Amino acid sequence: MASSRGVRSPRLRSLFPLALLLLASTAYGQGDRGTITGLVTGSTQAAIPDVEIVVTHVATNVQTTTRSGPTGVYNLLRLPVGTYTLVARKEGFRTYQQTDIPVRVGETIRLDITLEVGQLTEQVTVVGAAPLIQSESAEVGLVLTSSQFTELPLTLGGGIRNRPPSSFSSPASATPAPRKST
């Protein structure tokens, strides 16, 4: 009589690679992306719905487009890391543009937009970086270049690499010198 355990085992073994693939693709997709979010309001602080928001990755010139929702909130999810330029447009308002918006790995940048009444051909340009304070979450992070990463004194096994010469000790230097009595 065959046990049910023997019947399930081949099925579980065939599903295991699929589960690993799904987990790996989910982790990969989240690992190198960031988000820009914000609220679009007018000069009276009233939310403005249906505003076209276009961000352009400065290095690749790739554009991502979204629209603000009924409450004026917009979200640009899973953007590749880099520096962006944001443009917001709506009929009856001046075009809004902000440059030098840094998107970093796993970070959410909050960028609220205030549109001014005017013609679409008029433009308000904001030059400068987005605020460095992360108000969307309590996470703390750091972006390292590859050379900074390789200079870290840690290994994957938890040991120390690139130890400074002063940290090496020999048995002679570990033993304190005897004191002279006076």
Instruction: Decide the pairing of beta strands 33-42 and 73-80.
Output: antiparallel
Q: Radius of gyration (Cα) for the chain, nearest Å? A: 27
Q: What is the pLDDT of residues 16-53, one digit of tens each?
A: 565 555 555 444 445 789 999 999 999 999 999 999 99
Contacts of 141 (CB under 8 A, 6+ apart): 104, 105, 106, 107
What are the CA-CA distances from residue 104 to residues 101, 114, 117, 158 (Å)?
Answer: 10, 24, 33, 26
- The answer on pLDDT for 84 being more than 70 is yes
- The answer on pLDDT for 2 being more than 60 is no
**In what helix (H) or strand (E) does residue 18 lie, and over which residues does it extend?**
helix 4-31
- The answer on pLDDT for 86 being more than 60 is yes
Q: What is the pLDDT of residues 130-161, one digit of tens each?
A: 555 555 565 656 666 777 767 776 666 666 66
Structure-model confidence comparison of residues 118 and 10, the more confident one: 118
Confidence (pLDDT) at 25: 47
- The answer on pLDDT for 110 being more than 90 is yes
Q: Where are the domains of the chain?
A: 32-126
Q: What is the pLDDT of residues 18-28, one digit of tens each?
A: 555 555 544 44
Question: Can you tell me the distance from the alpha carbon of 104 to that of 113, in angstroms, rounded to the nearest whole number?
Answer: 20
User: Edge-to-edge strands of the sheet including 82-89?
Assistant: 63-67, 52-57, 82-89, 95-103, 123-126
How sure is the predictor about 81, in pLDDT bands with cuts at 50, 70 and 90? Answer: very high
Confidence (pLDDT) at 164: 58
- What is the fold of 32-126? Immunoglobulin-like (2.60.40)
**In what helix (H) or strand (E) does residue 86 lie, and over which residues does it extend?**
strand 82-89
